[in-house]
Amino acid sequence: MKYILTDVDNVLLDFSHQFEEWVIKKDIPIIKGQLQKTYTFESMFHTDQDYRKLIDEFYNCEYTMSTFKEYRECSKPINDLKNMGYTFVAITACDDKDHMTKSRAENIANLMGFSFEDVHVVGFNSSKEFALSQYGPSIWVEDTIEHAIKGAELGHRTFLIDHEYNKNKNGPFTRVNNWYDIKEILCDTER
């Protein structure tokens, strides 16, 4: 089986925009665009804000967690890769509340048009090592440096989706703009 293991937020689903819009609707003042740039919650607020409480509220809401939009129109190249014979598995470091796995799996299936073989929900900011180690050498797609490096260390061919917040960092991964780049590279590999 050829596996593509992939992170979810800011790789498959557009977390940053949706979280920002949700906070704005709650009339909490923020520095717009900051979360996309830094991916650190504390940097997006003007004042001291209990952002962990906000994140909990966001993650506990079935609506917010099942209605993300796709990230950078990734569904097309992902479907092309599926048609090349890849099986998709998601590994996401968000809270593992009861409905979370189902919400994420359904959100992904709705956007991509097919169900992933598995969706591993490993806990907020937790290590992905255990889930990653359940698979033999595979493709691994991430935007967070630490998780990307961990996957590479475990023998996965790792792609890092380029973001402002992970720029200027090097590691045992191939930096790409989007899933179209990944598809192109994997097509070349198989040629």
Q: How far is the CB of 147 from Mg ion (least distance, A)?
A: 8
Residue among 165, 179, 156, 175 nearest 12 (CA): 179
Q: How far is the CB of 166 from Mg ion (least distance, A)?
A: 10
CA dist 154 and 23 (Å) reads 37
Q: Give, in order, the Cα–Cα distances in Å from 123 to each of 15, 16, 96, 178.
A: 16, 18, 5, 25
Q: How far is the CB of 188 from Mg ion (least distance, A)?
A: 25
Cβ nearer to Mg ion, comparing 29 with 33: 33
Return the range that interacts with Mg ion (CB under 5 A); candidates 4-12, 57-65, 107-115, 176-184.
Answer: 4-12
Number of residues in the chain: 191
Q: Give, in order, the Cα–Cα distances in Å from 170 to each of 6, 144, 175.
A: 19, 12, 9
CA dist 185 and 191 (Å) reads 10
Q: Residues 4, 5, 6, 10: which binds Mg ion (CB under 5 A)?
A: 10
Q: Which amino acid is at 125?
A: N
Say how far residue 1 (Cα) sits from the centre of its chain. 22
Q: Does 107 bind Mg ion (CB under 5 A)?
A: no
Cβ nearer to Mg ion, comparing 27 with 166: 166
Q: How far is the CB of 10 from Mg ion (least distance, A)?
A: 4
Q: Does 7 bind Mg ion (CB under 5 A)?
A: yes
Cβ nearer to Mg ion, comparing 93 with 154: 93
Cβ nearer to Mg ion, comparing 16 with 138: 16
The site string for Mg ion over 138-167 (x = CB under 5 A, - otherwise) reads -----x------------------------
Max CA-CA distance within the chain? 53
CA dist 136 and 40 (Å) reads 32
Q: Residues 9, 20, 70, 95: which binds Mg ion (CB under 5 A)?
A: 9
Q: What residues line the site for Mg ion (CB under 5 A)?
A: 7, 9-10, 143
